[in-house]
Amino acid sequence: MKNRTAIVTGSTSGIGLGIATCLARAGVNLMLNGFGEAGEIEKLRSGIEKDYGVRVQYHPADLRKPEDIRAMVAAAEKAFGMVDILVNNAGIQYVSPVETFPEEKWNDVLAVNLSAAFHGSKAVLPGMQKNKFGRIINIGSAHAQVASKDKSAYVAAKHGLIGLSKVIALENATKGITCNTVCPGWVLTPLVQKQIDARAAREGISAAEASQGLLAEKQPAMEFATAEQIGDMVVYLCGSSAKLITGTALTIDGGWTAQ
C-alpha cells in the first residue's frame, strides 16, 4: 500500500490515531483530522512522518459542516494527488432518555457520526471511480447492531452507518471500490478511561474493579479491544486480499453482539 493516501477523521487521539498509525506503518500517506492543541497536533503529525517515512498533513475540518469536509478532501487531493482510502472514524456521544434529549445534541451526534460519512464519501468517490480503486471504511460500534438505553442518537447514527456502507458498496461493486463498517465493542481509549474513572469515583471502587464491571455488562471476553487491533483490521480491508469484502459489518467486540 505504499504511496496510497488516506484521510482518517478523528485521528488526533483514540481509535482514529491507532488507525492512522497502522496505515502509516503500512506506507500510507495521511491526512489527519481532529481537535486538539495546535502544538500537540503538529508534534503528532511530524512524529508519524518521521517514524514511518510517509507524508502527513493535517486539516482542522469541523465535521458538522459539509463545506469543511469538502475542503478537507480537496486539500488532500491537492497535496497527494489522490485519496485512495477514507476512514470515517470521528464520533461524539451524548447520553439522555429520548424525552429529555436536547435537539441540538441529537443534530450534532447525527451530523458527526453519520452525515459526515455521507459527505466525505460523496466527495472522495468521483476520484476513486476515476482511478478504479478506493476503500471507504466506516467505524461503527457494537451499537451499530444492538442498542443501549439513553443513547438514541448514537445508536441511530451507528445503525445508519451500516446501511450507508451497504449502499455505497452496491453502487461501486464493479468499480474497484469497497465500503465496509468496522464495529468495535469496548476499546480502551482516553474517553473510555474517563468513564472508568467516573464509575470508580461514583461507586467508591478501584479503577480495575470499575473496568471489570464495565466489561462484565457487555463484553464476554472480559478484555478491552485496542486501537491497534482496529487499525490492523482497517489495513487488511485496504489490501488486495480484501477486494471482495464489501458491504459487510465486521465486529471486534469480544462477543458483545453474539449474546
Catalytic residue list: 154
Q: pLDDT of 127-171, one tens digit each?
A: 999 999 999 999 999 999 999 999 999 999 999 999 999 999 999
Task: Judge if 182 and 212 occupy the same domain.
Answer: no
End-to-end CA distance of the chain: 37
Domain count, the chain: 2
174 and 96 within one domain? yes
> Residue 84 falls within a domain, yes or no?
yes
pLDDT digits (tens, 9 = 90+) for 215-241: 999 999 999 999 999 999 999 999 999
Q: Are 197 and 150 in the same domain?
A: no
Tens-binned pLDDT, residue by residue, of the chain (259 aa): 888 999 999 999 999 999 999 999 999 999 999 999 999 999 999 999 999 999 999 999 999 999 999 999 999 999 999 999 999 999 999 999 999 999 999 999 999 999 999 999 999 999 999 999 999 999 999 999 999 999 999 999 999 999 999 999 999 999 999 999 999 999 998 888 988 999 999 999 999 999 999 999 999 999 999 999 999 999 999 999 999 999 999 999 999 999 9
CATH number of the CATH domain containing 11: 3.40.50.720
In a domain, 16, yes or no: yes
Q: Are strands 56-59 and 85-88 parallel, antiparallel or unpaired?
A: unpaired
Domain annotation covers residue 259: no
Q: How far apart are CA 85 and CA 239, in angstroms?
A: 11
**Same domain for 162 and 76?**
yes
Quote the domain boundaries for residue 90: 5-187+225-254
Q: How far apart are CA 77 and CA 84, in angstroms?
A: 10
Do 133 and 204 sit in the same domain of this protein?
no
The answer to whether residues 217 and 155 belong to one domain is no
Cα-trace Rg, the chain: 18
Same domain? 246 vs 206 = no
> Are both 171 and 197 inside the same structural domain?
no
Q: How far is CA 51 from the centre of its chain?
A: 22
